């Protein structure tokens, strides 16, 4: 019997179909928070959820419903995430043979590749295999030799041999079709679950700084993809026009680069790199504007989370996701990717125009309801019904 914080999981009704979510770990990312929400909101009268993780200890495990059994797929001291996922294959196979789930959702591409190779060998008694794609593969993997030589060819070879592929946005769906046109009728789009009770009613006690000026908030891993250098450059221009602070939530390898950029602009204490925060919504509620400065995304969960917290949003119109969430000038403001002057103009405009901030915030609150975990979990359950029946929904 699985355990969560030392508490045994509740006994399950073995007569209901079961679904296994397999993921590297449950913490510190959009794919992981989406998986957490679907697991928590999935209707137990329809599906019995299991969670297989390559490594325990993810920062979101404490938020998982206690009836979800967590099973570790690999017991290894390997430091490389890629190595750990490769070494998880025997554990995934044993788990599937032992528990016999009806469906296995393989979250993120590398887990999908390892999982598909592993589970196809089980023959006709294997479960339904469904990769859940969370990033645009042709953008994410084209810049590395490993991605070009292994990941992209594996997607071409394996994804058509699965029972369905779930993409989190229409942009990612189109990206996959560009990799392999045979996937055109094999993909269902289900947007990520971005809103839940924690988003709407933050009860955690969090030490949030007291700002001295309106706060522009950014959030994400400190990596090139997130475009934080462009945000800092734009903020430097905003500061020349109006008082403001910039807070960035997240941790990553680009921290020292961003610190140097802040120093070069002489921004000092007006920019705060606040590290990874388990409760980002508490910081959102202290902010005036949320800004997504990414070069590319799979969807942009954090945009919806900010909207659900009542924040007006400025976002790059990057591939993919923001334009599927926001209509420019309606639920937020969209600006071209890597365009520092345009980003600065939109941020300064919102800071100066309170009625516009209020209008965008109200429209954003309404739009965010479409991405509530309860609705998305229903879409997942409906799609799993169709996969088990061998049918498709008429539109995606």
Q: What is the pLDDT of residue 75?
A: 81
**Full DSSP string of 79-133:** --HHHHHHHTHHHHHHHHHHH--SEEEEESHHHHHHHHHHHHTTGGGPPEEEEEE
Residue with tokens 């953008």: 139
CA dist., res. 176 & res. 168, Å (int): 11
Q: What is the pLDDT of residue 394?
A: 58
Candidate CATH numbers 3.30.420.40, 3.30.70.20, 3.40.50.2000, 3.40.1280.10; the one for domain 198-370 = 3.40.50.2000
Burial (CB count within 10 angstroms: exposed 0-12, middle 13-18, buried 19+), residue 359: middle
Q: What is the pLDDT of residue 109?
A: 97
Sorted by where each begins, the domain ranges of the chain are 3-193+373-389, 198-370
CA dist., res. 354 & res. 89, Å (int): 54
Cis before residue 320, ω within 30 degrees of 0? Answer: yes
Q: What is the pLDDT of residue 118?
A: 97
Q: Is it true that 3-193+373-389 and 198-370 share their CATH fold?
A: yes
Q: Topology of domain 3-193+373-389, per CATH?
A: Rossmann fold (3.40.50)
- The list of the chain residues with pLDDT below 50 reads 1-12, 396
Alpha helix (H) ranges present in the chain?
30-41, 81-87, 89-99, 109-120, 137-140, 145-146, 152-158, 170-179, 197-200, 228-239, 255-264, 280-284, 301-308, 322-325, 340-352, 354-368, 373-389
User: What count of other Cβ atoms lies within 10 Å of the Cβ of residue 35?
Assistant: 27
Q: What is the pLDDT of residue 14?
A: 65
**CA-CA-CA-CA torsion for 289, 294, 297, 300, nearest 10 degrees?**
-10
């Amino acid at each position: 019997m699985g355990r969560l914080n030392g508490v045994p999981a509740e006994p399950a009704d073995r007569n209901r179909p079961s679904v296994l979510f397999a993921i590297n770990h449950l913490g510190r990312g959009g794919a992981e928070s989406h998986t957490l929400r679907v697991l928590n909101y999935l209707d137990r009268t329809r599906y019995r959820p299991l969670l297989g993780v390559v490594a325990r200890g993810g920062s979101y495990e404490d938020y998982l419903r206690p009836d979800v059994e967590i099973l570790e797929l690999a017991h290894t001291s390997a430091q490389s995430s890629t190595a750990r996922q490769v070494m998880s294959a025997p554990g995934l196979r044993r788990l599937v043979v032992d528990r016999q789930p009806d469906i296995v959702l393989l979250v993120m591409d590398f887990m999908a590749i390892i999982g598909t190779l592993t589970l196809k060998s089980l023959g006709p008694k294997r479960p339904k295999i469904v990769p859940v794609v969370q990033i645009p593969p042709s953008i994410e993997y084209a810049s590395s030799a490993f991605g070009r030589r292994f990941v992209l060819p594996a997607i071409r070879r394996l994804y058509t041999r699965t029972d369905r592929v779930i993409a989190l946005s229409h942009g990612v769906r189109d990206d996959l079709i560009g990799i392999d046109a045979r996937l055109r009728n094999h993909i269902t789009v289900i947007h990520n679950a971005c809103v839940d009770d924690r988003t709407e009613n933050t009860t955690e006690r969090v030490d949030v700084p007291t700002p001295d000026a309106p706060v522009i908030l950014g959030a994400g891993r400190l990596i090139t993809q997130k475009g934080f250098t462009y945000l800092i450059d734009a903020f430097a221009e905003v500061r020349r026009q109006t008082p403001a602070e910039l807070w960035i939530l997240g941790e990553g390898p680009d921290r020292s680069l961003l610190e140097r950029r802040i120093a070069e602009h002489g921004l000092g204490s007006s920019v705060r790199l606040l590290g990874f925060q388990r409760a980002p919504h508490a910081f959102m509620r202290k902010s005036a504007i949320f800004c997504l400065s990414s070069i590319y995304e799979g969807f942009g969960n954090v945009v919806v989370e900010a909207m659900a917290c009542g924040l007006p949003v400025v976002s790059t119109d990057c591939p993919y996701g923001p334009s599927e969430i926001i209509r420019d000038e309606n639920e937020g403001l969209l600006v071209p990717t890597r365009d520092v002057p345009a980003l600065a103009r939109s941020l300064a405009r919102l800071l100066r125009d309170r009625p516009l901030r209020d209008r965008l915030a109200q429209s954003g609150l309404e739009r965010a309801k479409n991405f509530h975990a309860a609705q998305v979990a229903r879409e997942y359950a409906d799609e799993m019904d169709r996969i088990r029946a061998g049918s498709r929904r008429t539109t995606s």
